[in-house]
Amino acid sequence: MVELAPSILSADFSRLAEEIEAAERGGGTVIHIDIMDGHFVPNITLGPPVVKSLRKATKLPLDCHLMIENADEFIPAFAEAGANWVSVHYEACRHLHRTLELIAQHGMEPAVVVNPATRVNLLVDVLPMVHHVLVMSVNPGFGGQSFIPFTLDKIRRLHELRRELGLGYRIEVDGGIAPDTIAQVVEAGADLLVAGNAVFGHGHPEKHARELLHAARVAAGEVA
């Protein structure tokens, strides 16, 4: 089943609980939270205290996408705050295997993220230990950017690898997911669809979430 993961990056930060409720009513089943440190990416967002507050606003899995350096230092704080899934960038982790183990040891689902310019073949050895692989379809740092088409090949490759290796990781895609791009990522094999601007950027998040999810389900052959 494909799932929609609304990204709160484009939500109204003064009304996060209401925004999440609306996206949830529209069919969102995972809440994607972008954590940026101003070093790994050229933007700053939020950290564990906000995750802790969001934990009270929803029962849905909190999918924390860490765009930070020194992720190991902050993993205990995210666990304490109530994060469920934690993804770290291949490009930001010097000891990726250690970091993924640390996330699992803290009772959270570990995941790895690749930037558009990173080959997914580099991930082969850690695929058995991840809950999902997150393919960035824009360069991380900002919402509302345009989808980069060559990232579809990464999704296809991860889909093939999953079958070849007999693994069960999920394939998440993040960046530029909108009504005009969602079908192609689903057809390529993605099953966790992050959308920020398309859900929260134009008002009516419930309606926009519902429309996006419907388009994804049609592309997946789950509904007519």
Question: Which residues of the shown chain bind ligand DX5 in the complex (CB under 6 A)?
Answer: 7, 9-10, 32, 34, 65, 138, 140-141, 143-145, 174-177, 194-198
12 is catalytic: no
Smallest gap, in angstroms, from Cβ of residue 138 to ligand DX5?
6
Q: Kindly state the smallest distance separating residue 87's Cβ from Zn ion, in Å.
A: 8
**Is 72 a residue of the active site?**
no
Q: Which of residues 19-58 bind Zn ion (CB under 5 A)?
A: 34
Classified as helix, coil or strand, 81 is helix
Residue 81 or 195 with smaller CB distance to ligand DX5 = 195
Sheet holding 132-136, edge to edge: 3-6, 192-195, 170-174, 132-136, 109-114, 85-89, 62-67, 31-36
Contact between residue 58 and residue 20 where contact means Cβ atoms under 8 Å apart:
yes
- Give 31 or 81: the residue with its C-beta nearer to ligand DX5: 31
Nearer to ligand DX5 (CB atom), residue 76 or residue 179: 179
Binder of residue 175, out of Zn ion, ligand DX5, none (CB less than 5 to 8 A by kind): ligand DX5
- The residue from 12, 72, 125, 174 that is catalytic is 174
Helix or strand run (H / E) with residue 186 = helix 182-188
Residue closer to ligand DX5 (CB basis): 101 or 139: 139
3-class state of residue 181 by DSSP: coil
Radius of gyration of the chain (CA): 16
Task: Pick what 145 binds: Zn ion, ligand DX5, none; C-beta below 5 to 8 Å, kind-dependent.
Answer: ligand DX5
Binds 48: which of ligand DX5, Zn ion, none (CB < 5-8 Å by kind): none
Contact 9, 1 (CB under 8 A): no
Q: Coil, strand or helix: which one is 171?
A: strand
Which listed option, ligand DX5, Zn ion, none, makes contact with residue 27 (CB within 5 to 8 Å by class)? none
What token pair was written down for 186?
Answer: 């689903």
Q: Give the footprint of Zn ion on residues 197-216 (CB under 5 A).
A: none
116 CB-contact burial (10 Å; exposed 0-12 / middle 13-18 / buried 19+):
middle
Catalytic residues, by residue number, are 34, 174
